[in-house]
Amino acid sequence: MIILTTSATAQNLLVIPRTYTSTFTMELRDDSTNVSVDYAITTATLAGNYVSFNNVFSPKLVEGHFYDLTLFKDAAKTIAIYRDRVFCTDQDIDQTTNDHYKLNEGQYTTYNGSNNDYIVI
């Protein structure tokens, strides 16, 4: 799964496709609205075993939405070379330090006091 943000700046993606190419078409389909947007990628580079490319997502991605990512070798979208799932969040996620996605981040506050007063009648 690829994690992206709602940022309006270019975001870097690293993928291992079936066929290595520097130009391809990327289709991103929102699972919630079933709206697809196509992007023409023309400046992908080979970085080890990965294909690396930057893209500015317009319209902006929506926080908390899942997307289906498909890379096609041709503009007619007949030969798929990569498929993946994308999740959009602005939280800082680093699984190497056990900093995972928090579903309810910022919605609840915890009470740190200790009031053990009981009224006995």
The pLDDT of residue 113: 67
Q: How far is Cα 72 from Cα 99, in angstroms, rounded to an integer?
A: 33
Residue 84 has pLDDT above 80, yes or no: yes
Structural domain includes residue 14 = yes
Position 40 in a domain: yes
Q: 3-class DSSP state for residue 25?
A: strand
**Pairwise CA distance, residues 61 & 71, whole Å:** 18
Whether residue 9 lies inside any domain: the answer is yes
Is the pLDDT at 16 greater than 90? The verdict is yes
- With b for 16 or more beta-carbon neighbours within 10 A and e for fewer, the 63-102 pattern comes to eeeebebbbbbeeeeeebbbeeebbbbeeeeeeeeeeeee
Report the predicted TM-score, pTM, of the whole model to 2 decimal places: 0.77
Residue carrying the six token digits 């899942």? 66
Asked if residue 19 is part of any domain, the answer here is yes
Q: Is residue 27 part of a domain?
A: yes
CATH number at residue 34: 2.60.40.2320
Q: Quick check: 91 pLDDT over 90?
A: no
Q: Which domain holds residue 14?
A: 2-94
- pLDDT at position 51 over 70: yes
* Total tally of structural domains belonging to the chain: 1
Could you give the residue ranges of the DSSP H alpha helices within 1-121?
none
